[in-house]
Amino acid sequence: MLLEGKRLVITGVLTNASIAWHTARVAQEEGAEIVLTGFGRAIRLTERSAKRLPKDAPVFELDINDESHMVSLVEELTSMWGAVDGALHAVAYAPEDALGGRFLSTPAESANITFQTSAFSYKTLAVGLRPLMQAAGGGALVTLDFDNTQMAWPAYDWMGVSKAALVAVTRYLANYLGGDGIRVNAVSAGPLGTVAAKSIPGFEAFEGLWEDRAPLGWDLADPDPVARMAAVLLSDWAAMTTGEVVHVDGGVHAVAANAKEL
């Protein structure tokens, strides 16, 4: 199996509709041991979702912006496994006033928390888990992106800025962690009907665009293609791939117009 014997940390699981949950499911199906993270009142949702996986998985608390949480997680993983082979970073957050066409009026503190939680946190997770991946002889980190490096998306606003920054963080982490044998990549997914996506004002416009433009078509209700690509990047099959943004979006990123529009 693709991930036989791998020990993986999966962050960002709330419901069993999320990309993170489906990545956890695929990872287990491919032989991995996993733990999930959640925090605050929402950790109950994470615990409930853990029970819906093929095998129940431990849930540890992790507020990625709280340094003590990262320290505690590393201690728990050291005690349980002694080493970690990889992790999925599926953490993002923007205050209401940082989205929905409010770009010009967003206060600095809202832009800052969006960047810290949605982009800088990839570095936080990587640095925290680094000793455990070094103990494993290397590892793989994967984050979930929505590509904003070439264009602005209406209503995505400061989350879009943070997702663009996330790509840069991916590349810099790849540069600094390559010597440890740690690969760092991103999966840029098309829009999916997750709880997180539906919280974005104007999300319906994204849906329509993909339905019209994706050369391969796009199913808003199917996270499986994204989860499977994340599993590949977490596996040894991607042994020489790092600093990469892999698009799983039906091909929308590659075309100016679908042939069916011409």
Expressed as residue numbers, the domain containing 148 is 7-250
Rounded to an integer, the average pLDDT of 171-196 is 90
pLDDT for the residue 68: 97
Catalytic residue among 156, 176, 198, 260: 156
Q: How far is CA 98 from the centre of its chain?
A: 20
Percent of the chain residues topping a pLDDT of 90: 79
2 lies in a domain?
no
163 is catalytic: yes
* Nearest of 241, 118, 117 to residue 184 by alpha carbon: 241
Q: Is the pTM of this model over 0.85?
A: yes
* Nearest of 173, 110, 185, 108 to residue 145 by alpha carbon: 185
Catalytic residue among 93, 163, 172, 176: 163
What mean pLDDT, rounded, does the chain reach? Answer: 92
21 lies in a domain?
yes
Tokens 């290397």 belong to 138
Rounded to an integer, the average pLDDT of 96-104 is 94
262 lies in a domain?
no
pLDDT for the residue 24: 98
pLDDT band at 205 (very low <50, low <70, confident <90, very high): low
77 lies in a domain?
yes
pLDDT band at 169 (very low <50, low <70, confident <90, very high): very high
260 lies in a domain?
no
259 lies in a domain?
no
Percent of the chain residues topping a pLDDT of 70: 92
Tokens 């199996």 belong to 1
Give the CATH number, domain containing residue 192: 3.40.50.720
Which tens digit of pLDDT belongs to each residue from 26-55? Answer: 999 999 999 999 999 999 999 999 999 999
> How many domains is the chain built from?
1
- Residues 230-247 as b or e (16 or more Cβ within 10 Å = b): bbbbbbeebeeebbebbb
pLDDT of residue 201 exceeding 80: no
6 is catalytic: no
pLDDT for the residue 206: 65
